[in-house]
Chains A and B, each alone.
Chain A
Amino acid sequence: MSASTEEYLEALYTLTQDNKTATTSKISKRLNITPASVTEMLRKLADGGYVNYSRYQGVTLTAKGYEMAEKMTRKHRLLERFLHDVLKIGNDRVHKEACEMEHALSDTTERAICQTLKSPYKCPDDKKVIPACNLGFSSCEECKQWGDGLEKVGPRKTNVVSLAALKEKQEAKIAFIRGDNKALRRLLDMGLTPGTKVTISRVAPLKGPVEIAVRGSHLALGEKIACNVFVEKPINAGGGG
């Protein structure tokens, strides 16, 4: 897959968040490419089975495309963190640098960065959430203890999405909780064990907490916690099917 295809998928990932449909003009603006070239590329992506595209209805990602797009987005945002936190590169330059580097980033290095930065969850500009990795680990703890060799781990079996991306009334099953052992333990004790069904009861405005119903109780989880709790992706949640 070429770097430019990856860039397209990444752009589509961001543009189709919250079940939105991307349009040619939006993509053209974002990538700074003429609409004609965008249309051309979208046809190619549709042929490859990455997007659903019809001329007047806009673009959505297919399951295959979404997976790919999420992975690239994760690499990009992780790199931004790394460049910013470790190499102290300014906020204005991390995006461009990460764009250049992400296409060459292997899973092994991606994992090493994630571990070094202690499973970060947001970009340096503190707005966009870093998606979960697609490795088949059940927890960051397991990933930390795992030696080299990702072949044996394989990819994650289910698609996951963070609680923060869900809408009110949506129901989902807990897949895993990212990061810090202590918060993980507290959530486990409150009943969020893997496989548990949770329902979003309420989402506070202005990036406020998410209230969930779990095992007959109601919990408010701050945005940071919600971003780190991943559930199996319910139908119609975030991005295209």
Chain B
Amino acid sequence: MKEGRHRHRRGHQNGRRLTIALAGNANVGKSVIFNQLTGSQQIIGNWPGKTVERAEGSLHIDGYDITIVDLPGIYSLSTYSMEELVTREYIAHEKPDVIINVVGAAVLERNLFFTLQLIEMEVPLVICLNQMDIAEDKGITIDSQKLQEILGRSVVTTVASTGKGIRELIEKAIGVVGRPVQRQPVAFRNDIEEDTKELSGMIEAEQLQLEYASRWVAIKLLEGDPTIKKLVGSKSTSVIRAAETLSNRLEELHQEPGFVAVASERYALANQIVHDVQTQKTVKLSLSDRLDRLATHKVFGYIVSLGVIGLLLIWTFTIGTLLSNLFSKAFSFFQPVDPKLSGTLLSALWNGVFGGFVAGVTLVVPYVVPFYIMLAIMEDSGILTRVAFMTDSAMHQIGLHGKAIIPLILGLGCNVPAICSTRIMGTRRERLLAAFAITFAPCAARTIIIMGLVAAFVGIWWALALYVIDILLLVVVVKIAVKAVPGELTGLIMEMHSFKRPSLSVVTRQTWARTKSLITLVFPIYMAGTAIVQGVYALGWFGPVNKALSFLTVGWLRLPVVAGVLLIFGAVRKELILLMAVAIFGSNIAGSLTPVQLIVLALVGTIYPCLATVGVLTKEFGWKAAWAIIGANTAIAIVVGGVAARALALIFH
């Protein structure tokens, strides 16, 4: 009914398409608002050519078809990071109809620094003052009416976690559409304002046809932004010359570089606004503060961190075993899923495809998904930030910083999404090093090899020893890599946001985003890869392969000649090493392999990377870097395996 009435009144706007973008700092509940607005209709992908996540969703309301774009969480619109560059180019080139600036009410001043920049860009803007509940807990009250007057843009207060104010927010946003673009600036208070006006006047007079607002361009020129300088320089030398004179004068007057002077002024403005609209009562220590004290305590902090990781692993193992048994039963009812090594080519291929799928479902789904759900809960609550804080100095020992702990923990589930999540690291160098470290993390499939070959047939202590060796190897190898990769560590800069109750929708979205790479990358490789290797096996082509590899498998690693096949199968799916061994030797593998051979096979099997990891490394870092990592891994696997075979021979003599 309501929609019909709207359509009637605004006849020319039938099913009108709109694009609304959400922009704001990290940790202000932007994702929660996005989920509230779009429900399940979301597409999560990458910005074209960039390793920055792009989330898009749709909303049908009041006769509008609205596309909602969730921009990355950023603090500024400079070009410090890829996220910032993506955001400002999106705003300039794709021109969304409205931008909703999500602002964390508990950290108003820092958030306004970004809001002021959006206002500088002269975009259609609605301000969403979110997390009003967290602000209240901290004794903060904000006069939103006054804020609206000062900023000259609509301000809507929301508590996204409960959905409060969301309806009003979207109505206000739609209301902004079609109105003339608000150009009323929030003026700086000193000479910077005069310089800005002078420059923007020049830019307008010369009609430079820039995609950005002239005021924003003027400010960026004063800041000495290299991208904007180049853009303007290609159109007008006189503007550039004037900008240089003005920014030199600015630097002399303020005794600091242009971008520092402008940032200082913008923050001074934000501070003034906060002073005008915000009142702060002193409140008792909130629960969040108490938890924070405990989690970052000099002693208890470490216990909490260890507890968090321990809990995560225990939970995964318990739930995983339970689900895995259930799934296995369900699938074995269908068809046996053990590798098929005889019969016709077609049946081997089919068994491979099916077996690959079942492996995905019974291995990845029960272990990895619950693991990621728990991890996302911990992440959203804020506890992982504290773990990163506590482990920063330990991570420094291997040449990384605290933020790398999250991708590394993810790697215990599956390396593929873990490598994707290295995006949270600041620089490409840090991402590469973290990804390299992850390729050594004992993932779920590696755990199965260690358990299935070593714990079952040699002893649980040897299995644990392998884990320790794996982790020691990670430490040593990354330490060496840190020296070999040129560049320096940038160091940790991380916001310690308040503890909060995790949001179901954020946890779901995060888990899905991570699991998706399993379905799009890991499953296909599992299915196609298994089919191909089984097909090749069924054709009897592995005999020569085994022979060709025997110098390595038999000569160096002292394994039986069939190990060549095992390792090739293992590249497709790690746990195939175990399944194939069972298929070839029968269920009592210990009858055919000595304890030393079992340990060496497991050790080599856990170190070299699987195809899915190769795939994701290539996707994230390109061929060169990916092959460097893979080459290093394989070489290390071979060297360590050979050395272990000789050393262990002495022990098991």
Task: Mark A residues whose CB is within 8 Å of B.
Answer: 138-139, 141-142, 180, 182-183, 185-191, 193-196, 202, 204-209, 211, 214-225
Contacts and interface: CB of A to CB of B under 8 A. Distances in A.
Given A196-B267, A204-B301, A214-B110, 15 more contacts: A142-B251, A182-B80, A182-B490, A185-B76, A186-B75, A186-B80, A191-B267, A195-B264, A207-B393, A208-B392, A215-B267, A215-B270, A220-B496, A222-B493, A223-B396
Nearest to B401: A222
B405 to A, nearest CB: 12
Contact of A194 (B113, B264, B394): B264
B80 A138 contact: no
A138 B260 contact: yes
B489 A224 contact: yes
A215 B396 contact: no
Nearest to A203: B298
A64 to B, nearest CB: 25
B511 to A, nearest CB: 26
10 contacts: A142-B257, A185-B80, A188-B259, A189-B76, A190-B110, A194-B256, A217-B109, A217-B110, A218-B495, A222-B493
B493 A186 contact: yes
Contacts of A194: 256, 260, 264
B108 interface: yes
B84 to A, nearest CB: 9
Given A183-B490, A185-B78, A205-B298, A220 B389 contact: yes
A222 B491 contact: yes
Contacts of B260: 138-139, 188, 193-194
Contacts of B298: 204-205
Contact of A216 (B76, B106, B393): B106
Contact of A211 (B251, B264, B389, B394): B389
A108 B45 CA distance: 53
A190 B393 contact: no
B296 interface: yes
A187 B108 CA distance: 17
B80 A219 contact: no
What is the size category of the interface that chain B forms with chain A?
A: 35 or more
B110 A215 contact: yes
A204 B75 contact: no
Contacts of B263: 188-189, 193
Given A138-B260, A189-B113, A193-B264, A219 B494 contact: yes
A141 B107 contact: no
B73 to A, nearest CB: 13
Contacts of A205: 298, 393
Nearest to A213: B496
A191 B494 contact: no
Contact of A206 (B256, B296, B393): B393
Contacts of A138: 255-257, 260
A225 B492 contact: yes
The 5 closest A-B pairs by CB, nearest first: A222-B492, A224-B491, A189-B76, A222-B491, A208-B393
B490 A218 contact: no
Contacts of A188: 259-260, 263
A221 B491 contact: yes
Interface in B41-88: 75-76, 78, 80-81
B491 A183 contact: yes
Residue from B271, B301, B389 having most chain A Cβ neighbours under 10 A: B389
A216 B80 contact: no
B593 to A, nearest CB: 44
Contacts of A196: 267
B390 interface: yes
B393 A189 contact: no
Nearest to A211: B496
B393 A223 contact: yes
A218 B259 contact: no
Contacts of B296: 202, 204, 211
A73 B80 CA distance: 34
A223 B392 CA distance: 9
Contact of A191 (B113, B251, B301): B113
Contact of A193 (B267, B401, B490, B492): B267
B642 interface: no
A68 B263 CA distance: 34
Contacts of A225: 491-493
Contact of A219 (B78, B113, B274, B493): B493
B320 interface: no
Contacts of A186: 75, 80-81, 493
Given A188-B263, A191-B113, A217 B392 contact: no
B355 interface: no
Contacts of B271: 215
Contacts of A209: 389, 392-393, 402, 492, 494
Nearest to A225: B491
Interface string B455-497: 0000000000000000000000000000000000111111111
A144 B528 CA distance: 57
A162 B244 CA distance: 33
A185 B385 CA distance: 22
A217 B264 CA distance: 17
A138 B252 CA distance: 11
A207 B108 CA distance: 31
A204 B267 contact: no
Nearest to B274: A216
